[in-house]
């Protein structure tokens, strides 16, 4: 349970899960409640993710809240000095410096709410989220609904082949799938997929090969 009374101490909350699991919705819900309670709220998202808006966090259900776009985690520190609550979406797109930023903010007495993918499309832990999960006081793992069978989904399946770990896109190239229906990418793709490059989806659509789960 997340405490509703702030006793002059800060903490870290992490909301994780696969794509479409409701992470942004949950982050927006928590931030809205804090705003209703007249707490000062600072909200950030990485510049890399401008899929739906430059100045809002927008969920797949079109729920939105104003946010600041930043290109490095360090910018959060200076921009949230006056805030009680700090919200960060798509945290998997920041580097390891986000960990130190979250620690500093929470040690300053702030409530830090971080939302992000816990696994990439290969089913591998998506840093820095695993580290944040370890140091957080409160963690929430969300599930989507598997588009194949309807079971709870924890995996993000990429419907196109691409060797880059990050390909920005949504329903056009990603699907939420359960463990049974998730198919890992071919080994040769996965082995070169951590090069940190990113690109926008849709430009390089290749024909999907039929794969059989081992």
Residue ranges in contact with ligand ADP by CB under 6 A: 17, 19-25, 59-61, 144-145, 147, 176
**144 interface partner picked from Zn ion, ligand ADP, none, CB below 5 to 8 A per type:** ligand ADP
**21 interface partner picked from Zn ion, ligand ADP, none, CB below 5 to 8 A per type:** ligand ADP
Mark whether 54 is an active-site residue: no
How far apart are alpha carbons 23 and 27 in whole angstroms? 6
Assign residue 89 a region: left if phi > 0, alpha if psi is -120 to 50, beta otherwise? beta
Cβ distance to ligand ADP smaller for residue 31 or 144: 144
**151 interface partner picked from ligand ADP, Zn ion, none, CB below 5 to 8 A per type:** Zn ion
Neighbouring residues of 156: CB distance < 8 A, sequence distance ≥ 6: 18, 19, 117, 119, 120, 121, 174, 175, 176, 177
* Of 74, 90, 137, 189, catalytic: 90
Cβ distance to ligand ADP smaller for residue 144 or 201: 144
Contact criterion met (CB below 8 Å) for 11 and 111: yes
């Amino acid at each position: 349970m997340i405490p509703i009374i702030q006793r002059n101490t800060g903490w870290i909350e992490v909301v994780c899960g696969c794509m479409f699991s409701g992470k942004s919705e949950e982050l927006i819900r928590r931030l809205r409640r804090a705003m209703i309670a007249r707490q000062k709220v600072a909200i950030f998202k990485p510049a890399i993710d401008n899929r739906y808006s430059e100045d809002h966090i927008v969920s797949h259900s079109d729920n939105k809240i104003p946010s600041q776009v930043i290109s490095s985690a360090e910018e959060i520190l200076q921009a949230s000095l006056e805030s009680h609550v700090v919200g960060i979406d798509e945290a998997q797109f920041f580097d390891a410096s986000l960990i130190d930023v979250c620690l500093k903010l929470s040690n300053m007495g702030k409530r830090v709410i971080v939302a992000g993918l816990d696994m990439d499309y290969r089913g591998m832990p998506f840093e820095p989220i695993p580290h944040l999960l370890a140091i957080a006081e409160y963690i929430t793992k969300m599930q989507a609904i598997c588009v194949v069978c309807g079971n709870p989904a924890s995996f993000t399946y990429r419907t196109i082949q691409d060797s880059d770990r990050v390909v920005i896109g949504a329903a056009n190239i990603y699907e939420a799938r359960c463990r049974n229906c998730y198919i890992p990418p071919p080994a040769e793709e996965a082995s070169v997929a951590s090069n940190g490059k990113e690109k926008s989806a849709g430009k390089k659509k290749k024909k999907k090969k039929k794969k059989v789960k081992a």
